[in-house]
Each structure stands twice: as C-alpha cells, then as structure tokens.
C-alpha cells in the first residue's frame, strides 16, 4: 500500500480551502442542504 502526503501552502485566512482539501483527502463530501458528510465515490 502506498500513501502520498500532500503539502499545501495557503495564505492566512484560507481555512475554508484547507477544509475542502482535507475532506477530499479523506474521501468525504459535504451535503450543504442536509449539512451531512457523505462518502465520495472514488475513482481508481
């Protein structure tokens, strides 16, 4: 099993983008209507 670490440099105040990248890395997506986290369909 191979893992890849992604390092991202963000300007101060970009916590929203950091949260979106973290959710994507964990394979989760946010349903804004229901305010729920759902597993993403991952393509290999």
| Residues 13/19, Cβ–Cβ less than 8 Å | no
Q: What is the pLDDT of residues 3-28, one digit of tens each?
A: 666 666 767 777 777 777 788 888 88
Q: Is 4 a member of any domain?
A: no
With the C-alpha atoms ordered 21, 15, 6, 25, is the resulting torsion angle positive or negative? Answer: negative
Supply the pLDDT for residue 14.
Answer: 73
The number of domains in the chain is 1
Q: Is 24 a member of any domain?
A: yes
- Output the pTM of the full model: 0.56
Burial of 23 (0-12, 13-18, 19+ CB in 10 A): middle
- Could you give the 3-state DSSP secondary structure of residue 10? coil
E strands in 1-44: 28-31, 36-39
Q: Is 39 a member of any domain?
A: yes
Other CB atoms within 10 A of residue 44 CB? 2
């Amino acid at each position: 099993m191979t893992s890849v670490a992604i390092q991202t440099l963000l300007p101060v105040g970009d916590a929203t983008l950091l949260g979106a990248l973290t959710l994507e890395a964990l394979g989760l997506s946010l349903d804004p209507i229901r305010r729920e986290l759902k597993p993403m369909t991952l393509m290999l």
